[in-house]
Structure formats: structure tokens, C-alpha cells
Amino acid sequence: MNGWMGKIRAVLMLSILSLVLAACGKENLTALDPKGYGADTSMDMIILTTLIMVVVFLVVIIVYSIVLVRFRRKKGQENYIPKQVEGNHTLEMVWTAIPIVLVLIMGVPAVMTVFDLADESEASDSINIEVTGNQYWWHFNYAGEEVVTSQDLYIPTGEKVYLNMQSSDVIHSFWVPSISGKMDVNPENVNTMYIEAYEEGVYWGKCAELCGPSHSLMDFKVIAVSPEEFDQWIADMQSVDPADEPQDAVAQEGKELFEANNCMGCHAIGSSPSAVGPNLTNFGDRTKIAGFLEPTEENLVDWIMDPESIKPGNKMTGKYPNLSEDEASSIAAYLMQLKPSEVTPESVGGIN
């Protein structure tokens, strides 16, 4: 008895734990609360396939229960053999046809959805962004706008934004669960998809392809703003002059250290393409440092002093001379004041 009670308690505890864990997560990092066209169509497919699986499960359980009760062995009928239906052509046709029909019900909408999300017929009249996946960060170049940024992707709501994606090293996968499906980002070819956000907000993005020791830290954000705010953000980014001097003396010293320590060899401020590292034009408005650290000056100093301990396998480690903590603090002060626009993640509700 105690053995059975222990098993029942274990099952109940696992069931309760499963329900609790199912509620964990972030509001804008879930495919179950779609806020964009791609996620919406994916959710339709999730509902369709789930309903079909539930119906199949229920039918199997009902048939199994009927057989279990009706044809169970009865007293006095130990040697009774029920009527055999082996070779019944009608039954064989039915249980062959049913799976084919179910596959068609799921397969046809799935294929239509795939072609719909891969449609590029409106690309020439829409916003196009060149997306480059790198270990372990994302680079965004707004085609025809002379605007380059990294990690935070700004898009207007209610419009299709086409992403032309390629990797600079290994295979990555671009995924913003709340507004789009996944797309592999390969070194050999350019893959194109479009995203469309219904409402303003900050949406979490992930690399969904194992790409190295810091794969789990390769996060980015999509900031969906109104079309008017997007135009303002583009204009603000275009007006950035890398030669502008900071007003603060510490930040000015940081700018001099930034240039003297060859940081400009890997990073760029303005529309110039970065050779190796992320573009830093609007670094002060970033939602995270290195993709996952809270955007504080203390965290930035730690990152500058020892990036390898924070994000193993990154390409920044060992690319510049050793810095004192004071020098790192000055550079951090310079980077944190790079805020060219009033259109920021905070202006659309911030991020959790």
C-alpha cells in the first residue's frame, strides 16, 4: 500500500510542478501569445495540430475502453475466442484512409503557411534590413538608409519588414517567438523572411541554433514603434556624427581612450560598417549589455575588463591592451552616453 501511495504522490507532485513551470517565462518571449503576423499564423497551426492530436487521442482511448470492457475475459468463457476481423478490407481501408486524411488536413495548411511567410513579392516596396549573425551577437544594416546598428532591431508596427539574413561564421537561427517564426542564418547563402508586429513593444529574440559555448547568451531585441517614431529614429541615427565630443569630461576622456586602444578597429559609431564587433551608435539606449547583462555602468566595466569570463568564446577577448579599472570606467561613461534618439525601448514601454 505504501508503495502505491508513494507513486501516487510522486505523480501528483510532478503534475503540479509541470503546471507551475508551464506558467514560467517572459511576456514577450512566447509563441503562445502572438503579437505579429508570423507568430499568428504559427499559432493557428499549433491549434490545428493540437486539436487533431487531442481528437485522435480521445478516439483511441474510447475505443480502447470499449474493447477493454466489452471483450474482457468473463467467468465461464476462459476459452472463448472473439470473432476475428483479420483481412477485413473495409476496416483496413478505413484505418489507412484516416491517417492520410489527417496528414492532408495538417500538411496542406502547413505548406501554404511556409510559402506565405517566404513570399518576397512586396520586398521592393518595403523596408529591407540586412541581418548578419555572428558569434554571439546580431548586426542590422538598414538598406538604403545609411543606418547601422546591432543587437536592438527597430521596426515600425503594421508594416512588413524584410530581413535578408546571412551568417559571418557558423549556422545561426533567427527567432522572435512573439512576432515571427524561425529562419536559419547560414554562411553560404542569404535567407529572407519578413516580420510584422501588430503593436508597439520590446520583443525578445533568440538564436535557435547551437552555435558555440555562448549560444544561450546570443539574445537580441526587436523594438516595434509607431511608423512616425520609426521615421524619427531613422532621422536621428542618420544625423549622428562620430566626431562629436561628449559634454562630460569623464566621457570625453573615455572617447580618447576608446580611440587610442584600437576599439574603433572593431567597432563603429555611425553608419560605417563594423569590421568585427557590434555597431555602437546607440549603445546607451541598448536594453542589454552583451545581449543579457543589465545596462549599468558597473556591468559594462566588468565586460570591458574581462569579457571571456562573462561570454565565453567571444571575439573581443585579447583584441585590445589591458585596461585599468579607471580607464574602463571612462570608456564605459563614454559608451553609456551614446543616446542619439528619444525613441528608445523605454519610450515604448520598456522591457522586463
The CATH number of the domain where 303 resides is what? 2.60.40.420
The answer to the question of residue 286 being in a domain is: yes
C-alpha 290/C-alpha 210 separation (Å) is 18
State the pLDDT at residue 351: 58
Mean pLDDT computed over 314-330: 88
The answer to the question of residue 255 being in a domain is: yes
DSSP 49: H
The answer to the question of residue 149 being in a domain is: no
Q: What residues make up the domain containing 265? A: 249-337
Are the CB atoms for 192 and 175 separated by under 8 Å? no
State the pLDDT at residue 22: 65
C-alpha 32/C-alpha 177 separation (Å) is 8
Phi first, then psi: give them for residue 177, nearest 5 degrees: -55, -35
Q: Which residue has the cell 562573462?
A: 310
Chain centroid offset of residue 117 CA: 16
State the pLDDT at residue 3: 67
Give the pLDDT band (50/70/90) at residue 2: low
The answer to the question of residue 299 being in a domain is: yes
Which has more confidence, 245 or 26? 245
pLDDT by residue (tens digit) across 181-235?
Answer: 899 999 999 999 999 999 999 999 999 999 999 999 999 999 999 999 999 999 9
Q: To 5 degrees, how large is the angle CA 276–CA 333–CA 336?
A: 65
Model confidence at 1: pLDDT above 70: no
Q: What is the pTM of this model?
A: 0.85
The answer to the question of residue 207 being in a domain is: no
The answer to the question of residue 72 being in a domain is: no
Q: How many domains does the chain have?
A: 1
State the pLDDT at residue 186: 95
Give the pLDDT band (50/70/90) at residue 26: low
The answer to the question of residue 313 being in a domain is: yes
The answer to the question of residue 244 being in a domain is: no
State the pLDDT at residue 188: 92
State the pLDDT at residue 90: 85
pLDDT by residue (tens digit) across 94-129?
Answer: 889 999 999 999 999 999 998 888 888 899 899 999
